[in-house]
């Protein structure tokens, strides 16, 4: 899934990766090997995104984007750098897909006849139960 395409676009050329020591699982390995992976994606300077898509991303991920407009995703759950790299790429594509998929408008609906009858029947039963307590 590393080379996944989103809407026919391959963003892997615009990724910037950096690795550092992780605080995740790994025992002594954590102290020696740089397994934490940071994926950086420059949203304003991306050649694959349209201006509208850039605006959407900048609005939706304000807390994940720094002041320079760079989206930063960190992965340190795995013990190998490669797996963390793949996880961060997966995370990027799922975030991008979620942000760029238009939300469906909710169509207001009314409860059906059966649902109305059921609700009224439950109210009657509860009322009778309480009335019996008074006797």
> Is residue 104 within 8 Å of residue 98, measured between CB atoms?
no
Of 26, 23, 34, 13, the C-alpha closest to 89 is: 13
- From the first residue on, what is the mean pLDDT of each consecutive set of 10 residues in the chain (135 residues)? 58 80 65 80 86 87 84 84 88 87 88 95 96 88
85: in domain: yes
Residue by residue, DSSP assigns 39-51 as EEEESTT-SSS-H
Region class of 115: left (phi > 0), else alpha (psi between -120 and 50), else beta: alpha
Q: Which pLDDT value is given to residue 4?
A: 55
- The CATH code of the domain that includes 85 is 3.30.160.20
132: in domain: no
Q: Looking at the 3D structure of the chain, how many domains does it have?
A: 1
> Is residue 88 within 8 Å of residue 75, measured between CB atoms?
yes
58: in domain: yes
Domain encompassing residue 81: 11-100
Model pLDDT for residues 52-90, shown as the tens digit of each residue = 888 888 888 888 888 888 888 888 888 788 888 899 889
116: in domain: no
């Amino acid at each position: 899934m590393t080379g996944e395409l989103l809407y026919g676009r391959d963003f892997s050329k615009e990724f910037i990766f950096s690795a550092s020591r992780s605080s995740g699982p790994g025992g002594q390995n954590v102290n020696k090997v740089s397994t934490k992976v940071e994926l950086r994606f420059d949203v304003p300077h991306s050649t694959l995104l349209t201006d509208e898509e850039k605006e959407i991303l900048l609005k939706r991920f304000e807390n994940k984007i720094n002041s320079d407009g760079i989206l930063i995703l960190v992965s340190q759950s795995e013990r190998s750098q490669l797996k963390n790299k793949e996880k961060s790429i997966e995370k990027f594509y799922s975030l991008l897909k979620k942000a760029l998929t238009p939300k469906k408008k909710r169509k207001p609906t009314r409860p059906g006849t059966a649902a109305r009858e059921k609700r009224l029947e439950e109210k009657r039963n509860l009322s009778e139960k309480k009335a019996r307590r008074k006797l």
